[in-house]
Structure 1
Amino acid sequence: MSPKMMQFTRLDQQMPEKRSATDRKQDFNEIYTGFQPDRAGEQASRCEQCGIPFCQIHCPLGNNIPDWLMLTTAGRLKEAYELSSATNSMPEICGRICPQDRLCEGSCVLEQSTHRAVTIGAVEKYITDTAWAEGWVEPIVPQAERGESVGIIGSGPAGLAAAEELRKQGFSVHVYDRYDRMGGLLMYGIPGFKLEKDVVQRRVDRLEQAGVVFHPNTTVGKTVSFATLRARHDALLIATGVYKARGLAIPGSGLKGVAKALDYLTASNKVSLGDSVAAFTSGELNAAGKDVVVIGGGDTAMDCVRTAIRQGAKSVKCVYRRDRENMPGSQREVANAEEEGVEFVWLAAPEALLNEGTSDTVSGVRAVRMHLGVADASGRQSPQPLEGSQFIMPADLVIEALGFEPEDLPQMFAQEELTVTRWGTLKVNPRSTMTTLDGVFAAGDIVRGASLVVWAIRDGRDSAAAISAYLNQKSLSDRAAAE
């Protein structure tokens, strides 16, 4: 083992430098500046190189974290990149947006022993950003071209990860997406202060240079039928994600000034990309000068409150029915939001959205204080209202960030044989990832429900392997039949 490792006894945990809240509130650029080479090596050297790497075990991709930390310490960055990218199709993206405090870093032995975790995500970002800058990210060149083609519906992280793995094996790959740009959630759902869009675009460009064909502005079931795609390709992968927003079921939820989180974030990202968005220009999806209330406690809610701050909101509140310790979002994101001026209203739930007189526009949120009662079936304490604790918050814009559910794909695709679970997600064989339609596979959130980008990448890679095995077997069978 390198004598440079296990430096946690003399080196404290340090994150990359972060722009001041005053500065970063003025734009949508990423808030962390990135490690300098010496600092990245120092922080990587804090790794304990423990016998059971819990960081790796709790990474959905099974990234070989201890080894690429050791290579970073030794200054062998190209090898560190090669090892990192062997298991991860987008390491620089995961380094930016993964909730490391709930995954690898939260499981780091140093975190459990009060020395504070190795800053794994920041080092991962540094390694791959360096690889791009140095030209180490080589083009995808298949060893041989295959005759079969695969169609992928959805260009989010699952679809892009699968496209890369399939193209490496020589398959012809076509990706269809309803939006005008590729990237799905990465492009339109995540704000630039967490993930600048040129980082996503260079991944898309790399795939296009490798021969992946992208079909933007293509809505399956409208622009092109699902049956046409099945006839066109030897296999299909459905990687649409889940985009149907959960809404409030309280009085006033139909008032003007109530927006869905994804609509709000998409409009903001499009404007940042230089597009003209009517709903933003009209003020409908623009927080400038408004009292904003965001309802929800996940990472999407954090994206919304921090976006509203940058749009120049008069005030921004985040209302969540549980306390800080029990919220699903990243604690790091909560801290960033607080620094930027967001007020968190813990243990509170909306009862009604209010309007003034005959106006059909929201003017406030009536909420009730909550307390945590006995644990429910999931093991979490159930929030219960406190009688007589109602209070009112002024609101010109209310954003519902309550999570997402699957769209009705069997109806959208006119494929009633496409079986779904009781949650509306696509039912697949857990080993092959194939749906109830032969040659049609599914990956990502449309199978597991709303989840993390890193899980979508894992699912996309797994489905690519399953599709390859399916087509190989089909080719053998066809050859045997011909003989």
Structure 2
Amino acid sequence: MDERWRFLTTPRRDWPLRPVPDRVDDWQDVHVPDAEVPGGLLPLVSAQAGRCMDCGVPFCHHACPLGNLIPDWNGLAAREDWDAAVDRLHATNNFPEFTGALCPAPCESACVLAIDGRDAVAIKAIEAAIADHAWEHGLARPIRPEEHTGARVAVIGSGPAGLAAAQQLTRAGHEVVVYERDDRIGGLLRYGIPAFKMDKRYLERRIAQLEAEGTVFRPGVAVGTELDARTLLEHHGAVVVASGATRARELPVHGRELAGVHQAMEYLVQANRVQEGDYPRPPITAEGRRVVIVGGGDTGADCLGTALRQHAASVVQLDIKPQPDEERPDDQPWPTYPRIHRLTPAHEEGRDLVRLRVVAPGDPADQHLSGEHGDVRVFAATTVRLDGDERGRVRALHLSDAEPDTRRAVPGTERVIPAELVLLALGFSGPEDAGLVDQLGLRLGPTGAFARDEDFAGGRPGVFVAGDAGRGQSLVVWAIAEGRAAAAAADRYLRGRPTELPTPISATDRPLAL
């Protein structure tokens, strides 16, 4: 059969995962290393790239906030022209290894191949493999500007949005300084994302690339408190605010003040600092404890995977939303990103460890660890209150069924599960002010994020807002896209004329998702 019809003959294969018992005993990447993939990773990826139909209207391209040229680099990978594939991938994405590891791949939900229920092209795995090839073969070299403009730009925050903005502006010839309040560069990528989800070497080598290009990093500087942002604006032609959305949502129930109840980021940051070598054991640990995670999103899944690696006695994750369907619902048609029942690697680990009976039969937590498919999640569950012991430590959590629409507790459904560590993974309500509102003339929009116009300008002239700070809690792919777009807007402002930097999106763009 003609090679153009490989989507009919080649089944989907994703990058294989390591066996659960092996990976929960370390903090390494959950995927099988390239060299250990049977037959080799690149032949596998090349075959998967050949499933791309090279559609006349590539909806995958439209669903990607970065506008990644997916059919282009799929075709190049299918022909094993890896060097050219690297060029096409980097044309729109500064950090494809970040998105290859962390993005939920809305492009795959919009793949035309998936219209009739077929498996979409494994775009995310192809992207990750091309990015790895780039580094292994020296194709991710620093790109130094041909000329310097003499303009200075300050970037506040070194997460994916700040790093993308900094790289684009440095390559455009501006003098860029990135300010980060933490002691290391990377923001959420450094301390929020567990190492088993994204190896920190990906971050380290990109930071080194940016430094080689001329970007200057200033960690350990809290702009807005230690350093007045007005001073930055006085000494720089533009300021890009990419401080993220780190104001955590609270759980307003009786017992919230008990010892052993923590925000998810308190917990994840400490676990990541152990991997950085800051201390041998985290002050907050799940080891030997019955853990309840309140919140069903990605942060909750990261807490789950971390708790399993810390050898928790049991783990239950509560999701206030009903359990999604296994298939795309009728009210979430292609090409939107549907809410369906998905198992992350962490949930797969929890499911398999349940089968190995990490909880003894008859334990009060057992009924909540043996749901459909052995899922450690309890869906449509809302927290009623927390109980403590005589020392003021949490010992139990009361939950009830949640009504699908109002999410209020259903009377008569309350039950109790033991809890010695409760982690609140309820999402984030917006950026922390830290003085930036007054100092830069910013204002908060209706969602709690910093307001900006469609060109990412917000506050005083020369101030631009990118990433979660202006969009609210979102995906790493949106952060990179917004960093690139805000950099283009800042470059336009500094030059006083149209920019040559690409502008993938405006600040008003929204995803193809419900």
- Give the corresponding residue for 1:305: 304
- Whether 1:236 and 2:239 are equivalent positions in the alignment is yes
Structure 1 unpaired stretches of 5+: 373-380, 477-483
Aligned AA (1:228): T
* Mean Cα deviation higher: 6-15 or 151-160: 6-15
Match of 2:386 among 341, 353, 378: 353
Match of 1:394 among 418, 422, 425: 418
* Mean Cα deviation higher: 73-82 or 327-336: 327-336
Once the two structures are TM-superposed, the CA of residue 346 in structure 1 deviates from its matched residue by 1.4
- Give the corresponding residue for 1:435: 458
3-state SS in 2 of match to 1:220: coil
> Could you tell me whether the CA contact under 8 Å between 1:41 and 1:72 is conserved in 2?
yes
Q: Structure 1 residues 146, 416: closer, same or farther in 2, change over 3 A?
A: closer
For residues 116 and 495 of structure 2, what CA distance do their matches in structure 1 show? 48
- Give the corresponding residue for 2:394: 362
Once the two structures are TM-superposed, the CA of residue 47 in structure 1 deviates from its matched residue by 1.1
- Give the corresponding residue for 2:482: 459
3-state SS in 2 of match to 1:317: strand
- Whether 1:183 and 2:206 are equivalent positions in the alignment is no
For residues 196 and 466 of structure 2, what CA distance do their matches in structure 1 show? 27
For residues 340 and 138 of structure 1, what CA distance do their matches in structure 2 show? 42
> Could you tell me whether the CA contact under 8 Å between 1:302 and 1:329 is conserved in 2?
no
- Give the corresponding residue for 1:142: 145
3-state SS in 1 of match to 2:398: strand
Identity of aligned residues (%): 37
For residues 324 and 274 of structure 1, what CA distance do their matches in structure 2 show? 39
Once the two structures are TM-superposed, the CA of residue 383 in structure 1 deviates from its matched residue by 3.0
- Whether 1:163 and 2:176 are equivalent positions in the alignment is no
Q: Structure 1 residues 150, 117: closer, same or farther in 2, change over 3 A?
A: same
- Give the corresponding residue for 1:470: 493
Aligned AA (1:179): D
- Whether 1:415 and 2:464 are equivalent positions in the alignment is no
- Give the corresponding residue for 1:375: none
- Give the corresponding residue for 1:479: none
For residues 95 and 416 of structure 1, what CA distance do their matches in structure 2 show? 35
- Whether 1:343 and 2:366 are equivalent positions in the alignment is no
- Whether 1:331 and 2:342 are equivalent positions in the alignment is yes
Once the two structures are TM-superposed, the CA of residue 386 in structure 1 deviates from its matched residue by 2.3
**1:45-444 equivalent positions in 2, closer than 5 A:** 45-100=50-105, 103-276=106-279, 280-282=281-283, 285-325=284-324, 331-333=342-344, 334-335=347-348, 337-341=350-354, 343-356=376-389, 358-372=390-404, 381-409=405-433, 411-412=435-436, 414-415=438-439, 417-430=441-454, 432-444=455-467
Aligned AA (1:354): D
3-state SS in 1 of match to 2:254: coil
Once the two structures are TM-superposed, the CA of residue 411 in structure 1 deviates from its matched residue by 3.3
Once the two structures are TM-superposed, the CA of residue 32 in structure 1 deviates from its matched residue by 1.1
Aligned AA (1:463): A
> Could you tell me whether the CA contact under 8 Å between 1:45 and 1:73 is conserved in 2?
yes
For residues 17 and 4 of structure 2, what CA distance do their matches in structure 1 show? 26
Aligned AA (2:395): S
For residues 104 and 475 of structure 1, what CA distance do their matches in structure 2 show? 30
Structure 2 unpaired stretches of 5+: 35-39, 326-337, 355-374, 500-514
For residues 475 and 118 of structure 1, what CA distance do their matches in structure 2 show? 37
Once the two structures are TM-superposed, the CA of residue 475 in structure 1 deviates from its matched residue by 12
TM-score computed with the length of structure 1 as normaliser: 0.91
- Give the corresponding residue for 2:20: 21
Aligned AA (2:120): A
For residues 288 and 188 of structure 1, what CA distance do their matches in structure 2 show? 20
- Give the corresponding residue for 2:511: none
Once the two structures are TM-superposed, the CA of residue 329 in structure 1 deviates from its matched residue by 9.3
> Could you tell me whether the CA contact under 8 Å between 1:6 and 1:49 is conserved in 2?
no
> Could you tell me whether the CA contact under 8 Å between 1:433 and 1:441 is conserved in 2?
yes
TM-score computed with the length of structure 2 as normaliser: 0.86
For residues 277 and 439 of structure 2, what CA distance do their matches in structure 1 show? 37
Q: Structure 1 residues 177, 330: closer, same or farther in 2, change over 3 A?
A: farther
- Give the corresponding residue for 1:6: 5
In angstroms, what is the RMSD of aligned CA positions? 2.1
For residues 113 and 90 of structure 1, what CA distance do their matches in structure 2 show? 32
For residues 480 and 352 of structure 2, what CA distance do their matches in structure 1 show? 31
Q: Structure 1 residues 59, 25: closer, same or farther in 2, change over 3 A?
A: same
3-state SS in 2 of match to 1:118: coil
- Report the number of matched residues: 459
For residues 498 and 66 of structure 2, what CA distance do their matches in structure 1 show? 30
